[in-house]
Amino acid sequence: MEYAQLVKISKRMSKALRHDPARIGITLDAAGWVPVAELLAALGIDRAALDEVVAGNDKQRFAVAVGEDGVERIRANQGHSVPVELGLEPADPPELLFHGTSAGSLASIQATGLNKGGRHHVHLSPDTGTARRVGARRGGAIVILTVLAGEMSRAGHAFYRSDNGVWLADEVPPQFIRA
């Protein structure tokens, strides 16, 4: 399948599994899962396309698993704006994590920190390359922020690590951010 088609399907899957499942007529369970067959029917795609998107996604946005009932399900690993409980346990982060953003957001971030906005968590990257790719989505000049995650954790802030390696926090106060 062409790269442009895969990107389009990935974006549709992200929107449905993270933000607006009702738009395509699916319902996520409490943990964000939906049967694969339901998602395929709702999006009008075949299993080969779904498998190609899941396997080829550079950020590993999606997880596929077979439930106790034998039904294969799919969900987004993180980034939800709809209520889901991902079942993530607190984890000790590395000393430093990174966040890519636009240069235009820097002053606000330095004043108020990183806030989750409409999502469940602030997303942090384990390396600058990933943070750069995330920051590039917004266009314009990219700034890579360093988050003093170890120090922040020792100050009592919880961190979680999603299945695809993205680090999550409820917020990052400005005193733990270096531009």
- pLDDT for 118 equals 75
Residue 81 is predicted with a pLDDT of 84
Give the pLDDT score at 109.
95
Rounded mean pLDDT of 48-62? 85
Burial 110-130 (b: 16+ CB within 10 A, else e): eeebbeeeebbbbbbbbeeeb
pLDDT of residue 87: 84
Determine the pLDDT at residue 58: 65
Within 10 A of 176 (CB to CB), how many other CB atoms are there?
Answer: 22
Provide the pLDDT for residue 27. Answer: 95
Q: In what side-by-side order are the strands of the sheet with 177-178?
A: 97-102, 142-147, 177-178
CA 140 to chain centre: 21
Phi, psi of 143 (to 5 degrees): -120, 130
The total number of residues written for the chain in this structure = 179
Nearest CA-CA partner of 121 in 62, 67, 168, 88 = 168
Radius of gyration of the CA atoms of the chain, in A: 17
Chain segment 99-131, per-residue pLDDT in tens: 999 998 999 999 999 998 877 789 999 999 989
Contact at 8 Å (CB) between 36 and 75? no
DSSP run (H or E) holding 37: helix 36-43
Does residue 92 contact residue 158 with C-beta atoms inside 8 Å? no
Phi and psi dihedrals of 160, rounded to 5?
Answer: -135, 150
Region 79-91: what's the mean pLDDT?
86
Q: Which structural domains are found in the chain, ordered by start?
A: 3-76 (1.10.10.970), 97-178 (3.20.170.30)
